[in-house]
Structure 1
Amino acid sequence: MAKLQGKGIFVWKIPKCEGGDVQQIASVARDAALTHVIIKVANGIWKYNYDWDRHIDFCPPLVQSLRRRGIEPWGWHYVFGEDPIREARIAVERVNTLGLRGYVINAEAHYKRARNRHAAAEIFMRELRRGVGRDVLLALSSYRYPSLHPELPWNQFLRVCDLNMPQVYWIHAHNPAEQLEQTLRAFASPDIDAPPPIVPTGSAFSEHGWTASASEVRAFLDAARALNLDAVNFWEWHAARDRLPPDMWATISEYDWENGVPEPLDIAVAYIDALNARNPANVAALYASNAVHITSSFTTRGRAAIEGWYRQLFGRVLPDAVFTLANYSGAGSVRHLTWTADSSTGRVVDGRDTIGLNPAGEIVYHYTFFTVR
């Protein structure tokens, strides 16, 4: 099963995107380095982006145009939950007829009000998976904070889905990075039985007088990369292209997903790297100004004093040492690491450290133990 990576966007109404010109949609998507475009193909028990008067399906030409340009077309489907068997049938038909490799289930307010919604979601997902097979990726698109929407049958959907695409819409706020991080924490809740990998959907639209800005979209993309997420999406093509200032689409288009943000070094790795540079000031720069460094013999307080301790370490205790990180564990504000060192005057084989970090990622507490042999 292929992995979803890179930037993508939702398409709601094909005729409103680039005037309905599917070749132009595909060309713009290619120029923006999008890897996938998610097209609405069904609504409840009915096909979508389909002209019922003229019996014209707008989806196949767009699917084909995207695929010719190396972009993966996905489908999305707004579900209601009142008739799960027929909703599953139209989903399977659209996936198989269009040759889709990915399908997004969009469940929101209507599903929260549906009768027997938990059983409906279970039936729908079972029939959908049975009909499309294991090679089609399935994803859920819904609210970003599940605890605020307990009526939704989260587990019945997510147990079968390969991906979770929460709608990280920072409406009436301007803090996309913080809301993305909070979304990841929300889905790590024990109330979610088997959370699949997250591919968040960011805001590229305006609503009720609020508008997402290009700088916020950039911050959202940067945060997703820094959090090591494989892919992101945006809602929605028509708004981003035609209703918002040009810098919105330019930001999405020009963002280099592969190289947007280098993968940050964990503090354990950064610390050993700094030791191997053997520059006391560089090591001390990892500490907060009020940091405390503790060994079996000394307690050193403050960045300046800690720099002096490392000057002694590099000059007298372990001159010309090469440090090796053996292992590390922990997350958030705490790390535990083990390390070894080889120097011109002896070896360390039992290095054990505990590091505590402040919210800015600086070391505020550091206990280190080692013996030189």
Structure 2
Amino acid sequence: MIGKSIYIWDVNSCFGGKVSKIATELKNAGFDSAVLHSSNLVYWRDQKRVDLISALKDAGIETIGGAAVYGADPIGEAVAAADICNDYGLSAFVFDAESKFDAVPNSDHAAEELLQKFREQSGARIGWCWWAMYQSPSSRGVWHPVSVLRSAMAIADFGMPMMYWNWGDDPLSAVRYAEESWKQWRAVTDKPIVPIGRAYHGDGGIVFPESITAFYEAVVKFGAAGVCWWSLQNALALASSGVWDALIALPSHAQQSDEPIAAETAVVRINRINFRTMPQVTTHTVITQLPKGIQGKIIEIKQDGNNVWAKVQIEGWMAVKHNGQTLVDLR
């Protein structure tokens, strides 16, 4: 479970550095998990961070490790992260790879080596934190080496794109940014995605409470496995502008209703149906068209008003019912 999550970087900047207070406030705010982040694996074992692990666990909050990695010594970084997970019983570790990692020679191989070694050393789940987009949505010019993402997501259990919207600060801009990021990541991997949303000012943008809400609602509709926010210290610093209250208002994993799967197989009943990367009607998310009679084992069902969607084993979505018309039989 990741669910409703948030990064914690500078423990001393959160509720006066009182670990019991941090855990209590996160629990009261409905957070299911927290990522304890460090800018370097060498300094991860800061005593305040270690103390916070116990407090979070006592509060029933999933505790996840996280650190920036740089790729020059992938084996050393893997062993250090695995030792942290093993020593403190962390359920997962998130590797944050950015410009310095991308710039090392054979960075795709470094990503593979890092995660494979970690897998050998620890049973904790692997998260890969990377850029929201690897190419320009308009020109398709390359911004970041997509080979790194491919190599990492071949091994990682879930991906965490840094969707810190900066195409504008309003809700629509936040949604547009999330949609493009989701599309680019889905072109590379079908593994669970946990978007990281903006809860801070900087890097070309500022955050408004209404944009937090719109972003959250959008990525949940896309099929996010959880939603994380950067970061607790920033959100608290912006409390007077409503940022912290906006995060509190988001539902926890326990509050989200899991719809039961009412059927096992989907069978296309119309001539052909669009097969999509996400459960929504937007033309650019179409993968292909499935012909009448094709069957697929159902993994998940979602309902949105008069629309019903079925996710089948080949990792995509088809509309079961649209505007009241049944398109696919569920058996």
TM bin (shorter chain): 0.7 to 0.9
Go from structure 1 to structure 2 and tell me whether the alpha carbon gap of 1:336 and 1:5 turns closer, same or farther (over 3 Å shift): farther
Match of 2:163 among 164, 168, 192: 168
Native 8 Å contact 1:204 1:235 kept in 2: yes
Does the C-alpha gap of structure 1 residues 330 and 132 become closer, same or farther in structure 2, counting only changes over 3 Å?
Answer: same
| Change over 3 Å in CA distance of 1:228–1:153 after alignment to 2 | closer
SS of 1:146's partner is coil
Matched, 1:106 2:96: yes
Distance 1:184 1:118 in 2: 21
- Give deviations 1:4-46, integer Å, cap 9, x for gaps: 24210011111111121111110110011000000015615x1
Q: TM-score, normalised by structure 1?
A: 0.65
User: Matches of 2:217 and 2:257 in 1, distance apart?
Assistant: 10
Secondary structure of the structure 1 residue equivalent to 2:65: strand
Aligned counterparts, 1:346-365, within 5 A: none
For residue 32 of structure 1, the aligned residue among 24, 29, 40 is 29
Say whether the 8 Å CA contact 1:225–1:257 is kept in structure 2. no
Mark the CA change 1:76 to 1:86 in structure 2 (over 3 Å): closer, same or farther: same
1:85 equivalent in structure 2: 75
Cα distance between partner residues in 2 of 1:28 and 1:95: 24
Instruction: Summarize the Cα distance change of 1:326–1:250 in structure 2 as closer, same or farther, 3 Å threshold.
Output: same
- How does the TM-score come out when normalised to structure 2? 0.73
Report the counterpart of residue 138 of structure 2 in structure 1: none
Instruction: Check whether the contact 1:121–1:156 (CA below 8 A) recurs between aligned residues.
Output: yes
Instruction: Please report how far the alpha carbon of residue 118 of structure 1 lies from its aligned counterpart in structure 2 after TM superposition.
Output: 2.4
Q: Which has the larger radius of gyration?
A: 1
Secondary structure of 1:206 counterpart: coil
Q: Which amino acid aligns with 1:20?
A: G
In structure 2, the residue matched to 1:59 is 49
2:61 corresponds to which of 46, 71, 91: 71
Q: Confirm or deny that 1:223 pairs with 2:167.
A: no
* Rounded Cα–Cα distance in structure 1 between residues aligned with 2:223 and 2:249: 19
Q: Is the 8 A contact 1:138 1:162 kept in 2?
A: yes
Q: Is residue 44 of structure 2 the alignment partner of residue 48 of structure 1?
A: yes
Residues 285-296 of structure 1 mapped to structure 2, 5 A cutoff: none
Q: Conserved in 2, the CA contact under 8 Å of 1:9 and 1:235?
A: yes
Q: Which one-letter code corresponds to 2:182 in the other structure?
A: L
* Alpha carbons 2:238, 2:244 under 8 Å: kept: no
Change (3 A) 1:119 1:6: closer
- Alignment deviations for residues 320-356 of structure 1 (CA, whole Å, 9 cap, x no partner): xxxxx97454244589889xxxxxxxxxxxxxxxxxx
Does 1:21 pair with 2:25? no
Question: Which residue of 2 is the match for residue 131 of structure 1?
Answer: 121
User: Which residue type is aligned with residue 47 of structure 1?
Assistant: Y
Does structure 2 conserve the Cα–Cα contact (< 8 Å) formed by 1:225 and 1:263?
A: no
After superposition, the CA RMSD in angstroms is 2.9
Q: 1:250 to 1:337 in 2, by over 3 A?
A: farther
Amino acid at match of 2:159: N
Which structure has more RCO (C-alpha within 8 Å, separation ≥ 6)? 2
Mapped partners of 1:223, 1:259: distance in 2: 19
Distance in 2 of aligned mates of 1:260 and 1:99: 26
Preserved CA contact (<8 Å) 1:330 1:336: no
Inter-CA distance 149–337: structure 2 relative to 1 (3 Å threshold): same
1:176-233 deviations in Å (ceiling 9; x for gaps): 22222212211222xx3x4421110000000167311000000011112222323100
Structure 1 residue 74: Cα displacement: 0.3
Alpha-carbon contact 1:81-1:111 (below 8 Å) kept: yes
Q: Is 1:111–1:152's contact at 8 Å kept on the other side of the alignment? A: no
Aligned residue among 3, 8, 17 for 1:6: 3
Gaps spanning 5+ residues in structure 1: where?
A: 51-56, 265-324, 339-361, 369-373
Give the drift of 1:149: 0.8
**What does the per-residue CA deviation read over 1:227-265, in whole Å, with 9 as the maximum and x for residues that have no partner?**
23231000011100113535111111122246989899x
Output the amino acid matched with 2:274: G
The residue type equivalent to 2:210 in the other structure is: S
- In 1, distance between residues paired with 2:274 and 2:204? 43
User: When the two structures are aligned, how many residues end up with a matched partner?
Assistant: 268
Secondary structure of the 2:162 match is coil
> What secondary structure sits across from 1:115 in the alignment?
coil
Equivalent residue of 2:180, what SS? helix
> Are positions 1:188 and 2:178 aligned together?
no
